[in-house]
């Protein structure tokens, strides 16, 4: 990881829905080769920030820079650097995985030969090769998640944005996905992920940001978070609960 | 915007109402047949027209209700929650039946409302008759919906709805057969052609005979005629059998639903092992030429063609559209123009060619509503994958526009060529004008379908049928109609001038300039009709935030 070279930069990013501020001005830098975890309770603004980053929704204010390209001014170049796996993998149900790869690869102008070879490699990795010609509509949530993850990597993006990567995956696939993310960072790629599975974040992430009510409440490595929370020997779950103040919930609810 | 469109819809309804009222009043008087026989035959013709209208309405509602029933009773996502709840199955069915009845009927009823009103006014109906007619109409509308829901429950017990190809193919054949039967049974051409009758009495007898003695439309037709004539007693006695049929129909539907609805819904969740059926050869042929196009165009077009051919709910509508085209061509081929020598001339044919363009325009609009209008919505919840990609929204819309424009142009030109041949058009100016009209209309209608389809996009709809039958689909049809009217109005002056040119009348100095100004206005208007909806759609797609 090179901490001098931010590959993603959020400057004063905010998002409002009427009077409700889903994201209060957020300033955040993510560095090249970093595996960055973005945590927060439900409705804190994680997915909103990710959707702004991927250009799916527009921020009410502020700027996003991806690999030096402004998302607002050069959206095509900025988006070309990203691969995105959403939390709910809605795909084109009437296509097979291979046809979906052709479609996604085409949108990113990937050579057909590369789509075929990378697609085959990833489908084999995720145990979906024998389902390559079946329609996606017959797939389970986890299988769709794996297809989406494979499709996001067809154009060999510099940055992979993953929203809840382990939801719906079986334990074997979770292990595979974790290893896959580690390998990517070893190749110098950046990963930006959100998760509620704190053990995944603890295992994988170089740095973690915790968002609460649309604001970043804490950011740093696990050790830095432990220091900030004055909980030097506690795990991420305890720190997360303290920072998001969920430890004060009635015991019956917890 | 919505208010403006609403007022446009009201305006069109008023135009239809007064235009039709004028026509029906003229027909009803039968002036050309003399003061004694004229009103008698005029009355019978009005009655016959109303009967045809009810029969057409019945068929339209029947098909529409089967499609709505499959969607509301089997495909809606909220059904899973309802079925898992402790609510009684019959309660779920009844609530869904009410929703499907409203969904399948509201648009048809809005289109038919000014037409029925014109009939009632032409027959000088009293105020009470109007109110009772609304009640009768509601009863009539219920019947095709009962049939539709029953058919859907029965069919879904045998065919998995989620793989609806077979069901829809089956339905399409039924509808096609029904339409052919319907068109043949009308024999509308005989009403205009005295050659078919040796005596006046034969003609009167023929015109008085119901189209089909046992059709439910006959019951509503006869009771409506009595209602419009102020004979309430006869009206109620004629509507009574319909009420009996409805009561029995509702009872039968209740029994059917209590017995089969839950199992049919459960069966609808099952998928077939062999999911890619049949049409692969056609898909391969259609996508083959795409390899010569730009990469982004190729993949988006391939995806559109593939999903189109694999979605039976969309694909099967080709049969229905085919039936409409066949019926249109058939109607033109039986127009008895040459049987009325005083009316027939080559000029008549040429004038009809001028009017034929708008009719083709309406066919193109109807087809676009089914296939082009839903194209953005059909991206569905997978739209995030396009929106997060480097392809700009403008490019996506342009690709969709180009992709659909080509087949629509081919279809409209084929229709235009066939109808020009049937009309034996002799005037080269009229021939080229007809081609010019259909090309202009196709460009505008395609842009409107993409643009309005984006403004009113419903990315969570479970079927293309629901999308095209929505409020936005209605607005699209209204706007298409407005453009066609706009084009015709703008062409009236050049038409008028060219007719005068032909007859060597005095042109005056200003005429050629006015002629060309008019032509420029046509192009400017058409360009605006293409650009504005496209731009509105682009703004909507930019602002859209997928789930």
- Write the DSSP symbol of residue A164: S
Of B299, B310, B388, the CB nearest to A94: B310
Please check whether residue B85 touches A, CB under 8 A. no
Shared domain check, A135 and A197: no
Q: Average pLDDT of chain B?
A: 81
Q: Report helix, strand or coil for A32.
A: strand
Shared domain check, A183 and A114: no
| Domain boundaries along the sequence of chain B | 47-270, 276-310, 312-547
pLDDT computed for residue B274 by the predictor: 45
Shared domain check, A227 and A120: no
Residues of chain A with pLDDT under 70: 1-4, 246-254
The ipTM, to two decimals, is 0.88
**Beta-carbon separation of B384 and A137 below 8 A:** no
Rounded to whole angstroms, what are the CA distances from A108 to B386, B392, B407?
Answer: 10, 12, 27
Q: What share of chain B is helix, strand, coil (3-state, %, to 5)?
A: 85, 0, 15
Give the separation between CA B179 and CA B166, rounded to whole angstroms: 20
Give the separation between CA B155 and CA A40, rounded to whole angstroms: 49
**Averaged pLDDT for residues B153-159:** 79
Shared domain check, A165 and A151: no
Please give the residue of chain B at the shortest CA–CA distance from A105: B299
Please give the residue of chain A at the shortest CA–CA distance from B302: A103
Structure tokens at B479: 């706007």
Rounded to whole angstroms, what are the CA distances from B99 to B66, B156, B256?
Answer: 13, 19, 18
Q: Which of A193, A202, A196 is nearest to A160 (CA)?
A: A193
Q: Looking at CA atoms only, how far is residue B391 from chain A in angstroms? A: 6
Sheet harboring A61-66: ordered strands across? A20-32, A2-17, A61-66, A69-70
pLDDT band at B505 (very low <50, low <70, confident <90, very high): very low
Q: Give B373's contacts (C-beta < 8 A, 6+ positions apart).
A: B449, B452, B453, B467, B468, B472, B473, B476
CA–centroid distance for A85 within its chain: 7
**Beta-carbon separation of A137 and B275 below 8 A:** yes
Give the separation between CA B101 and CA B142, rounded to whole angstroms: 7
Shared domain check, A74 and A137: no
Structure tokens at A198: 């704190």
Q: Which of B209, B208, B206, B211 is nearest to B194 (CA)?
A: B206
Shared domain check, A149 and A102: yes
pLDDT computed for residue B277 by the predictor: 53
Please check whether residue B275 touches A, CB under 8 A. yes
Chain A residues with a Cβ under 8 Å from any Cβ in chain B: 51, 54-58, 75-77, 79-80, 82, 84, 86, 88, 90-96, 99, 102-109, 133-135, 137-138, 151
Q: Are B367 and B446 in contact (CB under 8 A)?
A: no
Of A79, A92, A133, the CB nearest to B303: A92
Give the separation between CA B331 and CA B188, rounded to whole angstroms: 9
Residues of A in contact with B547 (CB under 8 A): 88, 90
Neighbours of B343 (CB within 10 A): 11
Q: A167 or B255, which is more confident?
A: B255
Is residue A253 in some structural domain? no
Rounded to whole angstroms, what are the CA distances from B124 to A63, B35, B128, B348?
Answer: 68, 18, 12, 33
Beta bridge partners of A64: A10
**Averaged pLDDT for residues B58-76:** 81
| pLDDT tens digits, B273-283 | 445 555 788 88
Q: Report helix, strand or coil for A154.
A: coil
Give the separation between CA B421 and CA B215, rounded to whole angstroms: 36
**DSSP β-ladder status, A215-220 and A190-194:** unpaired
Q: Looking at CA atoms only, how far is residue B303 from chain A in angstroms? A: 7
Q: Give B168's contacts (C-beta < 8 A, 6+ positions apart).
A: B312, B313, B315, B316
- The region of weakest confidence among A126-140, A208-222, B128-142, B459-473 is B459-473
**Residue A59: domain span:** 2-81+157-248
Please give the residue of chain B at the shortest CA–CA distance from A101: B299
Shared domain check, A180 and A74: yes
Residues 360-399 of B with CB under 8 A from A: 380-382, 384-392
| pLDDT tens digits, B18-38 | 988 888 888 787 766 667 777
Shared domain check, A128 and A9: no
**DSSP β-ladder status, A69-70 and A61-66:** antiparallel
Q: B471 or B243, which is more confident?
A: B243
pLDDT computed for residue B534 by the predictor: 94
Is residue A254 in some structural domain? no
Please check whether residue B291 touches A, CB under 8 A. no
Q: Are B265 and B83 in contact (CB under 8 A)?
A: yes
Give the separation between CA A164 and CA A35, rounded to whole angstroms: 14
Q: Report helix, strand or coil for B294.
A: coil
Shared domain check, A93 and A76: no
The burial class, CB within 10 Å (0-12 / 13-18 / 19+), for B374 is buried
**Beta-carbon separation of B296 and A109 below 8 A:** yes
| pLDDT tens digits, B331-367 | 677 665 555 555 556 666 666 777 788 888 988 998 8
**Beta-carbon separation of A82 and B307 below 8 A:** no
Domain count, chain A: 2
**Beta-carbon separation of B390 and A84 below 8 A:** no
**Averaged pLDDT for residues B39-67:** 80
Q: Looking at CA atoms only, how far is residue A148 from chain B in angstroms? A: 9
Q: Which of B252, B49, B249 is nearest to B144 (CA)?
A: B249
Is residue A132 in some structural domain? yes
Chain pair A-B, CB pairs under 8 angstroms: 93
Is residue A72 in some structural domain? yes
Q: Which of B544, B284, B389 is nearest to A151 (CA)?
A: B389
Shared domain check, A161 and A125: no
Using alpha carbons only, how large is chain A's radius of gyration in Å? 18
Q: Which of A15, A49, A50, A56 to mutate to test the interface with B (most CBs of B within 10 A)?
A: A56
Shared domain check, A6 and A73: yes
Q: Looking at CA atoms only, how far is residue B296 from chain A in angstroms? A: 5
Q: Are B484 and B362 in contact (CB under 8 A)?
A: yes
| pLDDT tens digits, B214-239 | 677 888 888 998 888 888 888 898 88
The burial class, CB within 10 Å (0-12 / 13-18 / 19+), for B371 is buried
Of A79, A91, A106, the CB nearest to B388: A79
Check whether B212 has a pLDDT greater than 80.
Answer: no
Structure tokens at A253: 């609810």
Is residue A221 in some structural domain? yes
**Beta-carbon separation of B300 and A134 below 8 A:** no
Q: Are B309 and B315 in contact (CB under 8 A)?
A: yes
Shared domain check, A169 and A77: yes
Last residue of a domain, one of A156, A174, A202: A156
Residues of A in contact with B299 (CB under 8 A): 102-103, 105-107
Longest dimension (CA), chain B: 82
Please give the residue of chain A at the shortest CA–CA distance from B308: A94
Assign residue A18 the CATH number of its domain.
3.40.50.300
pLDDT computed for residue B151 by the predictor: 86
| pLDDT tens digits, B298-330 | 999 999 999 888 876 677 667 767 777 777 777
Residues of A in contact with B399 (CB under 8 A): none
Please give the residue of chain A at the shortest CA–CA distance from B547: A88
**Beta-carbon separation of B310 and A135 below 8 A:** yes
- Write the DSSP symbol of residue A231: -
Q: Which of A95, A101, A140 is nearest to A122 (CA)?
A: A101
Give the separation between CA A28 and CA B457, rounded to whole angstroms: 34
Give the separation between CA B405 and CA B439, rounded to whole angstroms: 10
Phi and psi of A146, rounded to 5°?
Answer: -70, -35
Q: Are A127 and B421 in contact (CB under 8 A)?
A: no
Please check whether residue B75 touches A, CB under 8 A. no
């Amino acid at each position: 990881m090179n901490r001098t070279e931010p590959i993603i930069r959020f400057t004063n990013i905010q998002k409002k829905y009427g009077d409700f501020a889903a994201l209060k001005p957020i300033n955040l830098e993510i560095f090249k080769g970093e595996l960055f975890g973005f945590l927060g309770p439900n409705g804190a603004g994680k997915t909103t920030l990710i959707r702004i980053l991927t250009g799916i929704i527009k921020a009410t204010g502020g700027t996003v820079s991806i690999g030096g390209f402004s998302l607002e001014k050069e959206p095509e170049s900025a988006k070309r650097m990203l691969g995105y796996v959403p939390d709910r993998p809605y795909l084109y149900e009437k296509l097979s995985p291979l046809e979906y790869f052709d479609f996604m690869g085409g949108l990113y102008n990937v050579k057909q030969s590369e789509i075929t070879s990378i697609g085959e490699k990833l489908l084999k990795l995720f145990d979906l090769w024998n389902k390559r010609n079946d329609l996606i509509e017959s797939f389970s949530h986890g299988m769709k998640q794996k297809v989406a993850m494979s499709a996001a990597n067809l154009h060999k993006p510099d940055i992979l944005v993953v929203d809840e990567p382990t939801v719906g995956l079986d334990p074997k696939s979770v292990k595979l996905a974790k290893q896959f993310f580690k390998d990517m960072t070893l190749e110098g790629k950046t990963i930006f992920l959100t998760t509620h599975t704190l053990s995944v974040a603890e295992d994988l992430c170089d740095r973690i940001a915790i968002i609460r009510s649309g604001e970043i409440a804490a950011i740093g490595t696990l050790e830095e978070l432990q220091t900030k929370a004055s909980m030097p020997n506690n795990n991420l779950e305890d720190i997360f609960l303290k920072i998001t103040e969920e430890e004060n919930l009635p015991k019956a609810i917890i | 915007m919505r208010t403006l469109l609403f007022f446009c819809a009201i305006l069109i309804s008023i135009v239809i109402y007064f235009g039709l009222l004028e026509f029906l009043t003229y027909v009803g008087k039968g002036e050309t047949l003399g003061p004694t026989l004229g009103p008698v035959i005029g009355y019978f013709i009005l009655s016959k027209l109303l009967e045809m209208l009810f029969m057409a309405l019945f068929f339209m509602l029947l098909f529409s209700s089967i499609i709505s029933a499959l969607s509301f009773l089997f495909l809606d996502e909220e059904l899973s929650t309802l079925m898992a709840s402790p609510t009684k199955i019959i309660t779920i069915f009844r609530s869904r039946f009410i929703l499907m009845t409203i969904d399948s009927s509201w648009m048809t009823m809005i289109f038919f409302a000014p037409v029925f009103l014109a009939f009632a006014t032409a027959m000088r109906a009293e105020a009470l008759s109007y109110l009772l007619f609304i009640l009768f109409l509601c009863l009539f509308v219920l019947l095709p919906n009962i049939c539709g829901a029953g058919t859907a429950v029965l069919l879904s017990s045998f065919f998995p709805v989620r793989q609806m190809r077979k069901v829809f193919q089956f339905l399409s054949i039924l509808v096609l057969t029904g339409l052919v039967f319907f068109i043949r049974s009308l024999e509308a051409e005989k009403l205009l052609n005295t050659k078919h009758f040796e005596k006046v009495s034969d003609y009167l007898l023929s015109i008085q005979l119901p189209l089909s003695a046992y059709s439910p439309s006959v019951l509503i037709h006869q009771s409506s005629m009595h209602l419009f004539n102020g004979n309430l007693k006869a009206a109620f006695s004629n509507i009574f059998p319909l009420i009996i049929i409805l009561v029995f129909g509702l009872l039968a539907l209740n029994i059917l639903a209590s017995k089969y609805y839950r199992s049919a819904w459960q069966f609808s969740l099952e998928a077939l092992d062999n999911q890619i059926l049949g049409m692969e050869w056609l898909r391969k042929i259609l996508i083959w030429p795409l390899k010569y196009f730009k990469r982004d165009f190729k993949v988006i077009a391939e995806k559109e063609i593939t999903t189109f051919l694999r979605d039976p709910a969309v694909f099967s509508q080709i049969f229905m559209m085919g039936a409409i085209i066949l019926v249109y061509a058939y109607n033109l081929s039986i127009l008895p123009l040459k049987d009325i020598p005083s009316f027939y001339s080559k000029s008549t044919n040429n004038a009809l060619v001028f009017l034929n363009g708008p009719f083709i325009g309406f066919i193109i609009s109807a087809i676009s509503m089914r296939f082009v209008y839903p194209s953005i919505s059909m991206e569905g919840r997978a739209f995030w994958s396009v929106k997060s990609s480097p392809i700009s929204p403008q490019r996506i819309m342009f690709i969709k526009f180009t992709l659909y424009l080509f087949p629509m142009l081919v279809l409209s030109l084929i229709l235009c060529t066939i109808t020009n041949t049937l009309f034996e058009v002799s005037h080269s100016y009229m021939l080229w004008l007809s081609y010019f009209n259909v090309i202009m209309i196709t460009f505008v209608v395609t842009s409107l379908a993409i643009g309005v389809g984006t403004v009113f996009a419903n990315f969570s709809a479970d079927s293309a049928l629901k999308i095209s039958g929505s409020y936005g689909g209605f607005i699209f049809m209204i706007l298409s109609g407005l453009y066609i009217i706009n084009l015709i109005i703008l062409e009236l002056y050049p038409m008028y001038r060219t007719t005068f040119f032909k007859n060597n009348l005095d042109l005056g100095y200003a005429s050629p300039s006015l002629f060309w100004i008019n032509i420029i206005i046509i192009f400017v208007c058409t360009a605006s009709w293409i650009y504005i909806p496209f731009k509105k759609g682009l703004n909507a797609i930019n602002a859209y935030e997928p789930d």
